[in-house]
Amino acid sequence: DAKTTQPPSMDCAEGRAANLPCNHSTISGNEYVYWYRQIHSQGPQYIIHGLKNNETNEMASLIITEDRKSSTLILPHATLRDTAVYYCIVREDGQNFVFGPGTRLSVLP
Amino acid sequence: ETGVTQSPTHLIKTRGQQVTLRCSSQSGHNTVSWYQQALGQGPQFIFQYYREEENGRGNFPPRFSGLQFPNYSSELNVNALELDDSALYLCASSLNVGYHYGYTFGSGTRLTVV
């Protein structure tokens, strides 16, 4: 079973920041937090991952709380092309990815 | 650098038949995982291959089997197809089994069993 809890759906206005929360209260010290997204009828796409520190790349920012029990994925300026299902996964090196149902993000014009 | 490619993209089979799905991993990647994604659900792990050996398996029956070849491409075989096997089958490759940058997924094969 997935070790994360995410809201089933969220809306965001185009051009605004999208903040997607994830709870992972049972995360262990060796587990990374990963975010993937899946646009309709495509394979999941890697977005970002982190262990303890906040991370930023060209796609998004990942904010991990100090106790590591929750995290937030931030898309700074959401576009219509960001409409997708977003998956938050905790995983230790060498383990397979366990996907939950994710959050369906709808970016509205 | 090419990504993960899967073939065919779509397939229709009859219940009881056998099917083989193919995956070419990203260049340099020696680890391949297969996932099944039913409509409206997240992908479910089937198994993983690392350097031609099975390296982990999810909760799928033995009629789901696989192979990895010396060039690290892979096949997923499903025997005695059932209606519930209808799904999107995803292949993902990784630079190494412990590579913490995660997997690169292909676009999948849509299998319909009638």
| Predicted local confidence at residue B100, as pLDDT | 67
User: How many C-alpha atoms does A23 have within 13 Å on its Cβ side?
Assistant: 5
CA nearest to A91 within chain B = B100
End-to-end Cα spacing for chain A: 35
pLDDT band for B96, please (50, 70, 90 cuts): confident
pLDDT in tens, A29-64: 889 999 999 998 799 999 999 999 899 999 999 999
pLDDT in tens, B21-35: 999 998 888 999 999
Task: Report the percentage of chain A scoring pLDDT > 90.
Answer: 84
- β-pair partners for A51: none
* Helix boundaries (H) for chain A: none
Say which residues have a Cβ less than 8 Å from residue A4's Cβ, sequence separation at least 6: A22, A23, A24, A88, A89, A90, A100
What is the 8-class DSSP label of residue A42?
A: S
Q: Are A86 and A20 within 8 A, CB to CB?
A: yes
pLDDT in tens, A64-100: 999 999 999 999 999 999 999 999 999 887 788 899 9
Question: Nearest CB to B56: which of A45, A96, A100?
Answer: A96
pLDDT band for B102, please (50, 70, 90 cuts): confident
**Residues on chain B bordering chain A, Cβ-to-Cβ distance under 8 angstroms:** 4, 33, 35, 41-45, 48, 56, 58, 88, 90, 92, 97-108, 110
Question: Nearest CB to B102: which of A34, A41, A98?
Answer: A34
